[in-house]
Amino acid sequence: MSQTLPVSPADDVTVLIFGASGDLTSRKLIPALYRLHKDGFLTDKSLVIGVARRPKTDESFRNELLAAGSDHARDGMDLDSWNRFAQRLHYVQADLGSHEDFLALRQQVETLEQQSGLSGRRLVYLSTAPELFLPSVESLAAAGMIPPSDQRDKLRVVIEKPFGTDLASAEELSQQLSRLLAEDQIYRIDHYLGKETVQNILLFRFGNAIFEPLFNRTHVDHIQITVGEAQGIEGGRGGYYDKAGALRDVLQNHVLQLLCLVAMEPPASFEAEYIRNEKLKVLQSLSPGRPGGAVGEWAIAGQYAAASIKGKRVKAYLDEERIGEDSRRETFAAMQVRIDNWRWAGVPFYLRTGKRLPARVTEIAIQFKLPPLNLFHTVECDGDVCGIVDARPNTLVFHIQPTDSISLTFCAKRPGMTYQMQPVKMDFSYQNSFSGGLPEAYERLLLDAMRGDSTLFTRSDELEAAWRFLDPVLKEWESANHRPELYPAGQWGPKAAHELLGRSGRAWRTPELEFNPPKPTVTDTMDMKPVE
Ligand code: BG6
């Protein structure tokens, strides 16, 4: 059976990667472009040109990327496909701030395009340090590489995160960029939106009739969103991370985007502007989980301390490479927020993200209300020992990492002569239900950007609304007398994060236990003997 393409390939295009010596290029961008080329989504005529300051030849650039890419490409790389792709791969040495270098770059790009019979449609990917986003676009403009507005689909620019460091800087960057590029030429990337299970949230909600009627304050007790990472600060990232922290690095973008998808209203149609309008409304309705309370009552900052994990000593954040001595930067952020609209009024949303947590887990858990009356006992068992436990609510979980799945827990009658129920789980997983691997987030996003589809990219007003909400937290956490609370590496954040839920009688889920279930806490042993 021939493979049908779900979407058409991109038109012939030149992809320019600025900051091509960086890690993102070798780990994510090139493996994704290689795969798109292999699968027929990137045409044979298209070009990929890496641009950076270090001296390299096409040959050395290709060899480096092959070595790094083999470890990172989904399903590895096969040499024939790589060699075909590598012929389209070039390197140009340029300093992104130098006008002369940009004039030379323009010349080389045009020559390569002429040799390939390309029309000059370009996608520029800014994989640079954030302070180079604007200078790079200014250099493109000064070198005459920004087409007139009636041909603006000839240039699209993908901008990595972080887009600004707070509301004022994000607004300033948007404003400066808007002098040079139209909004529909700017693609602000949040790679979480390219993940298959993240896209599935909207399809699951708005493509089925039975779940959506439950997504509201009548039925939902609360929602928890977790983006947890077991790793600490990877070598080389300390300088960036110590300025950013968990709030800017992950919560402001990935976590709030997940929140938008799970909470937004159905869009009028499945098109970029309609979807982004609905996401924006969620961000505009965000408010602190404790109205009128101090920041510390609803937003918790933590920093990991040294600990021993499975017998291995793990160092403290402060001892990681390139971290300021006595840094007060948070490696963990948790929040209780509300969405003040008719659908969600009164429903707490608990958000958390952090480094050096017990597991790499990303999930959204929707916990429903308990039935109004307990007609039956709920029972859980550990081997042959069963016991009565507290009533268990229904929970719908979107598992985004490490598995791509959705599970629904509910209670079912235990077999036998009693009317007792036990929590059970219904599971859907991509791996078990579909053959073939899932596309990597960057494959999807690069293809969409090449094709001019901005559905999975963030609009400037969404970003600004997110910063507007978080600005008071940033201000508080960066004030002179604020210190994040320490938590031992390998734990689910500091004590205050647990108290955030504890005071309303709720608790964070322990997601890693999904993969390694514990023995249930038996509160009362049961007599399983038949009635005489
Ligand atoms: C990036 C952050 O945006 O997301 C990293 O800068 C983080 O610090 C990463 O590790 C997590 O992404 P993923 O896809 O591995 O969950």
Write out the DSSP string of 304-356: EE-EEETTEEE--GGGSTT--TT----SEEEEEEEE-STTTTT--EEEEEESS
- Per-residue pLDDT tens over the stretch 368-383: 999 999 899 999 888 8
Pairing of strands 485-488, 420-429: unpaired
Q: How much is the mean pLDDT over the chain?
A: 92
Please pick, among 37, 222, 254, 399, the residue that the annotation labels catalytic. Answer: 254
Q: 250 C-alpha vs ligand 1 centroid, how far in Å?
A: 7
Classify residue 525 by its DSSP letter.
B
For residue 155, what are the β-bridge partners?
Answer: 122
For residue 423, what are the β-bridge partners?
Answer: 411
Residue nearest to atom 7 of ligand 1 (CA): 250
Phi-psi map region of 305: left, alpha, beta (phi>0 left; psi -120 to 50 alpha): beta
Contact 247, 474 (CB under 8 A): yes
285 in helix, strand or coil?
coil
Continuous segment of H or E residues that includes residue 112: helix 99-116
| Distance in angstroms (rounded) separating the CA atoms of residues 252 and 462 | 11
Report residue 404: phi and psi, to 5°: -105, 95
pLDDT of residue 511: 82
- Per-residue pLDDT tens over the stretch 131-184: 999 999 999 999 999 999 999 999 999 999 999 999 999 999 999 999 999 999
Q: Classify burial at 103, counting beta carbons within 10 Å of its beta carbon; exposed 0-12, middle 13-18, buried 19 or more.
A: middle
| Distance in angstroms (rounded) separating the CA atoms of residues 269 and 264 | 13
> Best of 226, 250, 331, 403 to mutate for ligand 1, by most ligand atoms within 8 A of CB?
250
Contacts by residues 69-78 (CB-CB < 8 Å, ≥ 24 positions apart): 69/26, 69/30, 69/31, 69/34, 72/26, 72/27, 72/28, 72/31, 73/31, 73/34, 73/35, 74/31, 74/35, 74/437, 74/439, 74/440, 75/437, 77/31, 77/34
- 286: tokens are 């965000």
502 in helix, strand or coil?
helix
Residue nearest to atom 9 of ligand 1 (CA): 250
CA 400 to chain centre: 9
3-state DSSP helix/strand/coil % of the chain, to nearest 5: 40, 20, 40
Closest ligand 1 atom number to CA of residue 249? 6
Q: Does the pLDDT value for residue 416 go beyond 60? A: yes
- Per-residue pLDDT tens over the stretch 3-18: 445 566 778 999 999 9
Q: Does the pLDDT value for residue 526 go beyond 80? A: no
Q: Does the pLDDT value for residue 393 go beyond 80? A: yes
- Per-residue pLDDT tens over the stretch 444-469: 999 999 999 999 999 999 999 999 99
pLDDT of residue 6: 54
In sequence order, which ranges of 290-438 are alpha helices (DSSP H)? 430-433
- 339: tokens are 């969405």
Q: 308 C-alpha vs ligand 1 centroid, how far in Å?
A: 24
- Per-residue pLDDT tens over the stretch 249-268: 999 999 999 999 999 999 99
Percent of the chain at pLDDT above 70? 95
Among the residue ranges 19-23, 244-248, 350-354, the one predicted with the least confidence is 19-23
Percent of the chain at pLDDT above 90? 85
411 in helix, strand or coil?
strand
- 272: tokens are 């970029």
What mean pLDDT is predicted for residues 492-496? 98
What is the number of alpha carbons within 13 Å of residue 419 lying toward its C-beta?
A: 3
pLDDT of residue 3: 41
- Ligand 1 within 6 A of CB of 190: no
| Distance in angstroms (rounded) separating the CA atoms of residues 436 and 5 | 14
The model carries a pTM of 0.93
> Best of 24, 192, 254, 440 to mutate for ligand 1, by most ligand atoms within 8 A of CB?
254
pLDDT of residue 514: 58
For residue 363, what are the β-bridge partners?
Answer: 226, 399
Among the residue ranges 40-44, 70-74, 339-343, 376-380, the one predicted with the least confidence is 70-74
- Ligand 1 within 6 A of CB of 363: no
Q: Classify burial at 57, counting beta carbons within 10 Å of its beta carbon; exposed 0-12, middle 13-18, buried 19 or more.
A: exposed
- Ligand 1 within 6 A of CB of 47: no
Question: Going along 132-243, which residue ranges are E strands?
Answer: 155-159, 186-188, 220-228
pLDDT of residue 103: 96
| Distance in angstroms (rounded) separating the CA atoms of residues 404 and 202 | 15
Among the residue ranges 4-13, 94-103, 280-289, the one predicted with the least confidence is 4-13
Residues whose CB falls within 8 Å of the CB of residue 381, separated by 6 or more in sequence, listed in order: 387, 422, 520
Q: How confident is the model at residue 190 (pLDDT cuts 50, 70, 90)?
A: very high
| Distance in angstroms (rounded) separating the CA atoms of residues 62 and 74 | 18
Residues whose CB falls within 8 Å of the CB of residue 86, separated by 6 or more in sequence, listed in order: 62, 65, 66
- 55: tokens are 């001296």
Contact 420, 377 (CB under 8 A): yes
Q: Classify burial at 435, counting beta carbons within 10 Å of its beta carbon; exposed 0-12, middle 13-18, buried 19 or more.
A: exposed
- 361: tokens are 């887990």
- Per-residue pLDDT tens over the stretch 25-49: 999 999 999 999 999 999 999 999 9
- Placement of tokens 């589809």 in the chain: 453
Q: Give catalytic status of residue 254 as yes or no.
A: yes
- 496: tokens are 């205050």
- Per-residue pLDDT tens over the stretch 420-444: 999 999 999 998 999 888 999 999 9
- Ligand 1 within 6 A of CB of 249: yes
pLDDT of residue 512: 63
- Ligand 1 within 6 A of CB of 250: yes
Q: 121 C-alpha vs ligand 1 centroid, how far in Å?
A: 30
> Best of 188, 229, 241, 353 to mutate for ligand 1, by most ligand atoms within 8 A of CB?
229
422 in helix, strand or coil?
strand
pLDDT of residue 532: 38
- CA dihedral 57→58→62→63, nearest 10 degrees, is -40
Residue nearest to atom 10 of ligand 1 (CA): 229
pLDDT of residue 1: 34
Q: 233 C-alpha vs ligand 1 centroid, how far in Å?
A: 11
Angle formed by the axes of helices 133-142 and 99-116, to 10°? 70
| Distance in angstroms (rounded) separating the CA atoms of residues 130 and 273 | 26
478 in helix, strand or coil?
coil
